[in-house]
């Protein structure tokens, strides 16, 4: 699966449609939603709904911020995006978003592949469903992040 594959394009459309239903406004603008999401200035991520969720989507900014190319990002357990000492907090957020369908205003610490920690700010998590209403996973939009001594 590559960022340009039909499966990823379909997932991107489901992410955008789910976000629009839950947030009440569009995730991105433009006629080519998949391309707009991949090149968005916001970090956009999605993991599947498995017991130990794995990333199934990471746009270009996510790959840059987390210092992971698509080939390393997709398939990686999403828990590895957070340092061990904040995984419990992250788990509570994931549970809340999974249950309610939508959580906004989250801030927390994440870690890149090099081990650099950074703070994500004002993140939104939402449940991604297909056109039949089946849950595909959980997505995240991170509009701001700060590299600092955290």
Using the predicted structure, report yes or no on whether residue 94 has a pLDDT greater than 60.
yes
Spatial neighbors of 108 by CB under 8 A, at least 6 apart, are: 82, 86, 89, 90, 93, 119, 120, 123
Domain borders along the chain are 6-147
pLDDT at 5: 87
pLDDT in tens, 112-124: 999 999 999 999 9
Residue 15 DSSP one-character state: H
**Cα–Cα distance, 143 to 50 (Å, whole number):** 26
Is the CB of residue 37 less than 8 Å from the CB of residue 28? yes
pLDDT in tens, 2-17: 788 899 999 999 999 9
> What six digits make up the tokens of 24?
């009440």
Residue 77 DSSP one-character state: B
Instruction: Please name the CATH architecture into which domain 6-147 falls.
Output: 2-Layer Sandwich (3.30)
Residue 99, SS3 per DSSP: helix
Mean pLDDT in residue range 57-80: 96
Is the CB of residue 109 less than 8 Å from the CB of residue 121? no
Is the CB of residue 44 less than 8 Å from the CB of residue 57? yes
pLDDT in tens, 29-38: 988 999 999 9
The CA dihedral of 74, 80, 81, 82, to the nearest 10 degrees, is 170
> What six digits make up the tokens of 138?
């959980």
Using the predicted structure, report yes or no on whether residue 147 has a pLDDT greater than 80.
yes
Spatial neighbors of 98 by CB under 8 A, at least 6 apart, are: 127, 138
């Amino acid at each position: 699966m590559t960022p340009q594959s039909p499966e990823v394009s379909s997932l991107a459309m489901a992410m955008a449609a789910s976000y629009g239903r839950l947030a009440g406004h569009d995730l991105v603008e433009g006629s080519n939603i998949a391309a707009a999401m991949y090149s968005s200035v916001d970090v956009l991520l999605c993991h599947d709904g498995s017991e130990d969720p794995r990333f199934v989507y990471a746009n270009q900014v996510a790959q840059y911020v987390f210092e992971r190319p698509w080939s390393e990002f997709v398939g990686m357990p999403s828990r590895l995006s957070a340092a061990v000492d904040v995984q419990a907090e992250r788990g509570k957020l994931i549970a809340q978003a999974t249950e309610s369908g939508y959580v906004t205003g989250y801030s927390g610490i994440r870690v890149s592949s090099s081990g650099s920690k950074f703070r994500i700010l004002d993140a939104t998590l939402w449940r991604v469903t297909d056109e039949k209403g089946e849950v595909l996973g959980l997505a995240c939009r991170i509009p701001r992040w700060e590299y600092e001594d955290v």
